[in-house]
Structure 1
Amino acid sequence: MSEKLKLMVVDDEPNNLDLLYRTFRREFKVIKAESATLAMEILDTEGEMAIIISDQSMPDMTGIQFLRKTRESFPDTVRILLSGYAEEQINCGVDEVKEADIFKCVTKPCSLPELKSVIQESVELYNTNKGL
C-alpha cells in the first residue's frame, strides 16, 4: 500500500478544521493548523504537502498571503483558498490568485461533494506536477 498524500488544512476556526479532518482522514494524512504562522512552522518540519486548503480570513495573515509564501518552497503543492464571504471572492484579485498559484477559490459553506470533487481534481494535478 502506498503512503497517503499529505493534506494540510489551515483555519482559525476549530470546527472547520475538525470537519475537514473528518472528511478527508481516510484518504489523506491530514495535518491541521490553527493559523498561517503555525502552518509555516509545520511545513518547515513536515515538508511538502500534496494539497493545502487555507481559509482566507485569519488573524495573522490572509489565506492568499500564506499560500503565496508556500509557493517558492513547494511549487508542486496544489493550493485551495476557502472564503466565507462573497465579497472576498470579488476582492480576491486575479493577479493575487495567480501570484499565490491558487488552483481554486471555494466559497464557504460549500457542499462536501463539491469540496471532494475539488480535492480529487487537486490530486490529479499534484500527480501530474510530480510526473506520476
Structure 2
Amino acid sequence: MKKLLLIDDNLTLLNFLARDLSIYYDVISFSESKLAIEFIQSNAKELNIIVSDYKMPLYNGIEVLKAAKEAAPHSIRLLLTGYIDAVDEKDQKGIYNLIIDKNVIKDARELVRNIEELPKGLK
C-alpha cells in the first residue's frame, strides 16, 4: 500500500481526510508543519504521496512541499488550499505536482481520483 503523508492545521479536516484516505493509502498525518518537515527528512524514502494544506502557522504548504521535493523528489506532492487565488503558481514550478481547491473537494474519493489521474510524467 502506498504511503501518504497528510499535513493540515485544521484538525477536523485532517482527521476526516486521514480516516477516509486510509481506505486507499497508508496515511500518516500531522497538524504541525515543522513536525511534518522533520518527518519527511527522516522518512523520505518511504513516502509516495505528500498532501499539504497551504495556509498554516510557521511553515506554509509551499515551504513544506519544497522541503519534500528536496528530501523525496520521487514523491507526488499536492497542495490543498481554500485560497487558490493567493497561490502564485508560476513561482512554484516543480514544487508540487497538483494544486487542489479545498472548496471543490467533496470527499476523499475525489482527492484519490485527482492523485491517481495525474499523468505518468507528473507522478
TM-score of Structure 1 vs Structure 2, range by shorter chain: 0.7 to 0.9
Cα gap change, 1:115/1:62 in structure 2, threshold over 3 Å: closer, same or farther? same
1:116 to 109, 112, 117: 112
What TM-score do you get using the length of structure 1 for normalisation? Answer: 0.80
4+ residue runs over 2 A deviation: 44-48, 94-97
Identity among equivalent pairs (%): 28
Residue 47 of structure 1 aligns to a residue whose secondary structure is helix
Aligned to 1:32: 29
Residue deviations 1:5-42 (CA, integer Å, cap 9, x gap): 11000001111111111111122110001121110121
Structure 1 residues without counterparts, runs of 5 or longer: none
Q: Bigger radius of gyration, 1 or 2?
A: 1
Q: 2: CA distance between counterparts of 1:94 and 1:27? A: 28
Aligned 8 A contact 2:44 2:71 in 1: no
Q: 2: CA distance between counterparts of 1:57 and 1:14? A: 13
Pair 1:61 & 2:23 matched = no
Q: 2: CA distance between counterparts of 1:5 and 1:15? A: 23
Structure 2 residues without counterparts, runs of 5 or longer: none
Residue deviations 1:75-115 (CA, integer Å, cap 9, x gap): 11111111112xxx223112333142x11111113112431
Pair 1:93 & 2:88 matched = yes
RMSD between superposed Cα atoms in Å: 2.0
Aligned 8 A contact 1:53 1:79 in 2: yes
What TM-score do you get using the length of structure 2 for normalisation? Answer: 0.85
Q: 2: CA distance between counterparts of 1:12 and 1:39? A: 11
Number of residue equivalences = 120
